[in-house]
């Protein structure tokens, strides 16, 4: 049985209002922390191959990275297999890539959409992701920076996060995570990830 993977297909919302030097290094950094298999092309579009258990969390981390810069990202997540492994993700083939492209094409008001062979899982996850993205739209840049740090450093407690973010008090981290509904988002992402893994 072929191994299932996740493919993220996305672009940066508002990229034309800012110089690429503002957001491109940040996008490259967040992708390279999670995978060696990614492409950035057509200026502000990107594709990345990830382990399934990382896909949704990385998508939210990308969004947090861009919201911290007063931008955003639209991302289609495809779950499936890869039948041809090219040097560049964008030149590979398989239903994971097809689903990812179709999920990206489905994006309208929502900025995150998932597609796999399991329609029931798709419906469940897309209801959850729609609610999660509605919460991300309320983030300030400071909240997004704190959420990104918490997503990427799950081993750190709030005191350590405060040191990492050069904040004087742990309460600043706690307040920003509470305002960002981080605990609820984390729970929703974990539930959706588990649903994908068992589907």
Mean pLDDT of 146-162: 95
Contact 30, 65 (CB under 8 A): yes
B/e letters for 48-83, b = 16+ CB within 10 Å, e = fewer, are bbbebebbbbbbbbbbbbbbbbebbbbbbbbbbebe
Quick: pLDDT tens for 93-106. Answer: 789 999 999 999 99
- State if pTM tops 0.85: yes
Rounded Cα distance, 1 and 99, in Å? 19
Which candidate, 198, 77, 51, 78, places its Cα nearest to that of 132? 77
Contact (Cβ atoms closer than 8 angstroms) between residue 75 and residue 24: no
CB 78 within 8 A of CB 98: yes
Q: What is the pLDDT of residues 29-62, one digit of tens each?
A: 999 999 999 999 888 999 999 999 999 999 999 9
- Distance (Å, whole) CA 73 – CA 95: 23
pLDDT band at 3 (very low <50, low <70, confident <90, very high): confident
Domain interval for residue 119: 5-198
**CA geometry: angle at 80 spanning 74 and 86, to 5°?**
85
Closest CA to 86 of 33, 39, 41, 54: 39
What CATH number should be reported for the domain holding residue 87?
Answer: 3.30.70.270
d(C-alpha 103, C-alpha 113), whole Å: 6
Q: What is the mean pLDDT of residues 9-36?
A: 93
Number of domains in the chain: 1
Q: Are 188 and 128 in contact, with CB atoms under 8 Å apart?
A: yes
For residues 98 and 75, what is the distance between their CA atoms, to the nearest angstrom? 14
């Amino acid at each position: 049985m072929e191994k299932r993977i996740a493919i993220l297909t996305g672009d940066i919302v508002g990229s034309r209002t800012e110089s690429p030097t503002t957001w491109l290094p940040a996008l490259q950094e967040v992708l390279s922390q999670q995978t060696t298999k990614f492409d950035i092309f057509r200026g502000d579009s990107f594709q990345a191959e990830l382990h399934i258990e990382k896909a949704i969390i990385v998508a939210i981390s990308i969004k947090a990275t861009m919201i911290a810069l007063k931008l955003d990202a639209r991302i289609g997540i495809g779950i499936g297999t890869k039948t041809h492994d090219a040097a560049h993700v964008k030149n590979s083939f398989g239903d994971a890539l097809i689903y990812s492209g179709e999920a990206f094409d489905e994006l309208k008001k929502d900025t995150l959409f998932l597609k796999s062979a399991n329609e029931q899982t798709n419906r469940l996850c897309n209801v959850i992701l729609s609610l999660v993205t509605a919460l991300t739209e309320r983030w300030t840049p400071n909240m997004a920076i704190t959420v990104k740090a918490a997503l990427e450093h799950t081993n750190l407690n709030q005191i350590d996060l405060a040191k990492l973010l050069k904040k004087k008090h742990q309460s600043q981290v706690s307040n920003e995570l509470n305002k960002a509904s981080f605990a609820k988002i984390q729970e929703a992402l974990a539930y959706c990830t588990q649903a994908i893994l068992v589907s």
